[in-house]
Amino acid sequence: MKEQLEKVTRGLTYGIPTLISILEDVAIMSEMGLNSYRFSISWARILPGGNICGGVNKEGIKYYNNLINELILNGIQPFVTLFHWDLPQALEDLYGGFLSSRIVEDFRDYAEICFQEFGDRVKNWITFNEPWSYSAVGYGSSMLAPGRCSSWVDIDCLGGDSAREPYIVAHNQLLAHATTVAIYRKKFQESQKGKIGIILVSRWMIPYSNSKADKKSAIRALDFMYGWFMDPLASGEYPLIMRKLVGDRLPYFTQEQSEIVKGSFDFIGVNYYTSRFTQNIPASNNYVNKSYDADQLVNQTVERNGIIIGPMAASSWLYVYPKGIRDLLVYIKKKYNNPTIYITENGVDEKNDEKLSLEEALKDDFRIKFYQQHLSYVQGAIQEGVDVRGYFAWSLLDNFEWMDGYSVRFGINYVDYRNGLKRYPKSSSLWFRGFLKGFIEILDS
């Protein structure tokens, strides 16, 4: 057990740069006792034109060098994500971004610049953050950028096809990922001695009833969310149930592509926030309008027999179900030959209530309970043999949370948006500081 614990990397994730100095934020991490920090590089900050033809932004390189150097100076390992949904607008305008296979070469070139500039110090690379979210939600339901979907899903969609585009975008992300991993392994890994992986998000799925149909619906929902990406990475092919239900709308890998995608990871990042009950939808209920969501023949719900799956957080999609993180990890171990895993995101938010005093806003005991419960279940998964090497909480600071903007707060450190973005530790930040101090003492004993 001690040997396993010694492998665990502690850290917190924080993706959006602020105007506050790097020195101040790294000092917060150091004071908390963190030894790792996950952040995302903005593609457009390195290549404003999206590709090498537009030239490299030296100021962008300088910014990330300063951050990386300060982290290392304080004994904090950088875990760097190359794509966190912020595609350069120039590539969207030029050829439709990830709807085009041209994106594979441009992403590879962007990644190679990052390996060249930062790889002597960055030893943990992540190609894509949650390709499921970018594909299914950005192109299926329009709730995330670029806001594409079929008009029958949302009349305000910026064009799109919910039955085809999510699958095309996912396919091109997988090819861009695999091509980039191949370049890293061929040109950089031996000399830089780093590792490279990808982050996949998934809910845990719980059958609504003990019926055979509902039990199958839970596995099917996992295949459409997690297996959609993990199956190609493990075997070079999409899940059979997806091929059956989606048909020729699901792209095919050539033999060469399949071989490149298969095994294209040194580790898998797992983002876990919530779980769902699943109910089977009979295949006889043919939908007039096809879509990624409809293809699954699954109804996902947060309520069963009048009882919700867990408390709802500030975000309407986040219902707290701690046991799900253990169940998901054990499922991955059993189905995918126990890959090396980092928990790359796990967290909970509260409403941004401007009426609260600072003292009230800093008291987040519910978040402490959230982390206590989830970490306990992660420990349980480790005891069952899951190869978990690290845990990153989301997030270090309150941040701009996509469609929710500044209306919710995920941070364990409070950001005062009205007074110069000053930082204050919440109760959960102080709890983590004590937890990590005790953790180190256990390892040293």
| Token pair recorded at residue 434 | 């004590």
Q: Does the annotation mark 130 as catalytic? A: yes
Rounded to an integer, what is the distance from CA 164 to the centroid of its chain? 23
Q: Which of 70, 117, 345, 350 is catalytic?
A: 345
Active-site residue, 190 included: no
Side-chain-side CA neighbours of 362 within 13 Å: the count stands at: 14
- Residue 33 tokens read as 């006792």
Residue tagged active-site, from 130, 165, 350, 401: 130
User: Cα–Cα distance between 224 and 226 in angstroms, integer?
Assistant: 6
What is the SS3 assignment for the chain? Answer: CHHHHHHCEEEEECCCCCCCCHHHHHHHHHHHCCCEEEEECCHHHHCCCCCHHHCCCHHHHHHHHHHHHHHHHCCCEEEEEEECCCCCHHHHHHHCHHHCCHHHHHHHHHHHHHHHHHCCCCCEEEEEECHHHHHHHHHHHCCCCCCCCCCCCCCCCCCCCCCCHHHHHHHHHHHHHHHHHHHHHHHCHHHHCCEEEEEEECCEEEECCCCHHHHHHHHHHHHHHHHHHHHHHHHCCCCHHHHHHHHHHCCCCCHHHHHHHCCCCCEEEEECCCEEEEEECCCCCCCCCCCHHHHCCEEEECEECCEECCCECCCCCCECCCHHHHHHHHHHHHHCCCCCEEEEECCCCEECCCCCCHHHHCCCHHHHHHHHHHHHHHHHHHHCCCCEEEEEEECCECCCCHHHCCCEECCCEEEECCCCCEEEECHHHHHHHHHHHHHHHHHHC
**Angle between the 365-383 and 427-444 helix axes, to the nearest 10 degrees?**
30
Active site residues: 130, 345
